[in-house]
Chains A and B, each alone.
Chain A
Amino acid sequence: MKADPKGVLTGSHNLSGNQACAEGALAAGCRFLGLYPIMPALEVSERFLERAPRVGATFIQMEDEISALAAVLGASWTGKRSMTVTSGPGLSLMMEHLGLGVMLETPCVIIDIQSVGPGLGLPTRAAQGDIMQSRWGSHGDYEIVVFAPSSPQEMFDYVIKAFNLSERYRIPVAVMSDAYLARLQENVVIPPAEEIDIEPRRYFKGETDKYLPFKRDKDFVPPMVKIGDGYRFHVTGLTHDDRGYPIMNEECQEYNVHPLVKKIRDYTDEIIEVQETGIDDAEVVIISYGTTARAALKAMEQARSAGIKVGSLKLATVWPFPEKRIFELAKKVKAFIVPEMNFGQLVFEVERCSIGKANVLFISHGEKGVENIDDILSAIRQTQQMNEVKKCIIELKKGV
Chain B
Amino acid sequence: MEEPTKAIKEIHPDPSATSGVHPMENLLRMERMPHIWCPTCGIGLAVTAFTAALTKANIDTNKMSIVSGIGCTGRVAGYVKLDSFHTTHGRPIAFGTGIRVANPGIKVVVFSGDGDLIAIGGNHFIHAARRNIDMLVICVNNFIYAMTGGQVAPTTPLAAYATTSPYGCVEPPFNIPYIADSAGAVYVARWTTLHVRRLTNSITEALQKTGFSVVEVISPCGMYYSRINRLGDGLDMMRFYHDNVEIRNGEDTKNLDIGFQTKIICGKFVDRERPSYMERYNQWLSEVKGARGEG
Decide if B82 is an interface residue (CB 8 Å cutoff).
Answer: yes
User: B81: shortest Cβ distance to chain A, in Å?
Assistant: 5
Contact residues of A between 233 and 287, Cβ < 8 Å to B? 233-238, 245-246
Question: B84 an interface residue at 8 Å Cβ cutoff?
Answer: yes
Contact yes or no, A232 B83, CB < 8 A: yes
Identify the closest chain A residue to B99 (Cβ): A74
A227, CB-defined interface residue at 8 Å? yes
Check A78–B103 contact: CB distance below 8 A.
yes
Q: Are A67 and B97 in contact (CB under 8 A)?
A: yes
- Which of A34, A100, A235, A245 is close to B98, meaning CB atoms less than 8 Å apart? A34
A68-81 CB mask vs B (1 if < 8 Å, else 0) is: 10111111111110
Given contacts A78-B99, A82-B98, A97-B88, contact A232 B81 (CB under 8 A): yes
Known contacts A63-B124, A228-B83: A75-B78 contact under CB 8 Å: no
Which of B32, B65, B97 makes the CB contact (< 8 A) with A71?
Answer: B97
By beta carbon, the residue of chain B nearest A32 is B102
Q: Is B54 an interface residue (CB 8 A)?
A: no
From known contacts A67-B124, A71-B98, A72-B98, infer whether A246 and B103 are also in contact, taking CB-CB under 8 Å.
no
B294 within 8 A of A: yes
- Chain B CB within 10 A, most for which of A63, A64, A79: A63
Query: Is B94 interfacial (CB 8 A cutoff)?
Result: yes
Contacts of B123 in A (CB 8 A): 63-64, 67
CB of B289 closer than 8 Å to a CB of A: yes
B105 CB contacts on chain A under 8 angstroms: 228
Query: Which A residues are in CB contact (< 8 Å) with B82?
Result: 232
B101's contact among A32, A53, A73, A79, by CB below 8 Å, is which?
A: A32
A54-62, A151-159, A335-343, A349-357: which lies at the B interface? A54-62
Residues of chain A lying within 8 A (CB to CB) of residue B77:
234, 236
A interface, by DSSP: helix, strand, loop or mixed? mixed
B174 at the interface (CB under 8 A from A): no
A236 and B83 contacting across the interface, CB-CB below 8 Å: no
A233 to B81, CA, bound (A): 7
Q: Is the CB of B83 within 8 A of A53?
A: no
B106 at the interface (CB under 8 A from A): yes
Say yes or no: B98 contacts A75, CB within 8 Å.
yes
Q: Are A80 and B102 in contact (CB under 8 A)?
A: yes
Which listed residue, A53, A76, A82, touches B288 by the CB 8 Å rule? A53
Residues of B within 8 A of A97 (CB): 88, 91
Given contacts A62-B97, A82-B102, contact A234 B294 (CB under 8 A): no
**Whole-angstrom distance between the Cβ of B176 and the nearest chain A Cβ:** 18
Interface check B29, CB cutoff 8 A: yes
Write out the residue numbers on chain B whose beta carbons fall within 8 Å of the beta carbon of A11: none
Chain A contacts of B85 at CB under 8 A? 74, 77, 104, 234-236
A70 touches B87 (CB 8 A): yes
Contact A233 B83 (CB under 8 A): yes
Whether A228 contacts B29 by the Cβ 8 Å rule is: no
Residues A63 and B127 in contact, CB atoms below 8 Å apart:
yes
Contact of A227 among B91, B97, B99 (CB under 8 A): B99
Closest to A57 in B: B102
Decide: A100 and B87 in contact? CB cutoff 8 A: yes
Which of B32, B63, B277 touches A228 (beta carbons < 8 Å)? B63
Q: Which residues of chain A (75-108) have a CB below 8 Å from chain B?
A: 75-80, 82, 96-97, 100, 104
**In the complex, A24→B28 CA distance in Å?**
43
Are B87 and A71 within 8 A (Cβ)?
A: no
- The answer to whether B86 touches A80 (Cβ under 8 A) is no
Total A-B Cβ pairs within 8 A? 134
Tell me the residues in window 131-165 of chain B with beta carbons closer than 8 Å to chain A beta carbons: none
- Cβ–Cβ contact A227 & B86, under 8 A: no
- B62 interface residue (CB < 8 Å to A): yes
Return B259 CB to nearest CB of chain A, in Å: 31
Check B99 against A70 for contact (C-beta < 8 Å): no
B294 touches A53 (CB 8 A): yes
* CA–CA, A269 and B99, complex, Å: 34
Take A70-B91, A227-B103, A227-B106 as given contacts and tell me if A246 and B97 are in contact as well, using a CB distance cutoff of 8 Å. no
- Smallest CB-CB separation from B36: which chain A residue? A246
Chain B residue numbers with a CB within 8 Å of A58 are 101-102, 281
Say yes or no: is A295 at the interface (Cβ < 8 Å to chain B): no
Q: Smallest CB–CB gap between A77 and chain B, Å?
A: 7
Q: Return chain B residues, CB-CB under 8 Å to A100.
A: 87-88
Tell me if A74 and B84 are in contact (CB < 8 A). no
Q: Kindly identify which residue among B93, B106, B294 contacts A78, using a CB–CB cutoff of 8 Å.
A: B106
CB pair B86 A74 closer than 8 Å: no
Q: Are A246 and B98 in contact (CB under 8 A)?
A: no
Query: Within 8 Å of chain B (Cβ to Cβ): is A220?
Result: no
B157 CB, nearest partner CB in chain A, Å: 28
Q: Does residue B239 face the partner (Cβ distance < 8 Å to A)? A: no
Docked-complex contact B91 and A236, CB < 8 angstroms: no
Q: How far is the CB of B133 from chain A (nearest CB, A)?
A: 9
- Closest-by-CB residue of B relative to A71 is B98
CB pair A80–B94 under 8 Å, yes or no, is: no
Q: B86 near A246 (CB under 8 angstroms)? A: yes
- Whether B95 is near chain A, meaning CB under 8 Å from some CB there, is yes
Given the known interface contacts A100-B87, A237-B86, the answer about A66 and B94 at a Cβ–Cβ threshold of 8 Å is: yes
Contacts of A140 in B (CB 8 A): none
Assuming the A-B contacts A100-B87, A232-B83, A237-B86, are A75 and B94 also in contact, with contact meaning beta carbons closer than 8 angstroms in the complex?
A: no
CB of B285 closer than 8 Å to a CB of A: yes
Answer whether residue A204 sits at the interface, using C-beta atoms and an 8 A cutoff. no
A119, CB-defined interface residue at 8 Å: no
Bound Cα distance A338, B214 (Å): 55
Contact in complex: A53, B102 (CB < 8 Å): no
* Interchain Cβ contacts under 8 Å between A and B, 10 examples: A34-B98, A54-B292, A58-B102, A60-B98, A67-B124, A70-B87, A70-B95, A74-B95, A74-B96, A227-B99
What is A's interface to B at a CB cutoff of 8 Å?
A: 31-32, 34, 53-54, 58-60, 62-64, 66-68, 70-80, 82, 96-97, 100, 104, 227-238, 245-246
Known pairs A97-B91, A229-B62 / 10 extra A-B pairs, C-beta < 8 Å: A67-B97, A71-B98, A77-B85, A78-B103, A79-B103, A80-B103, A97-B88, A104-B85, A227-B103, A245-B32
5 A-B pairs with least C-beta separation: A74-B98, A71-B98, A67-B94, A75-B102, A236-B86
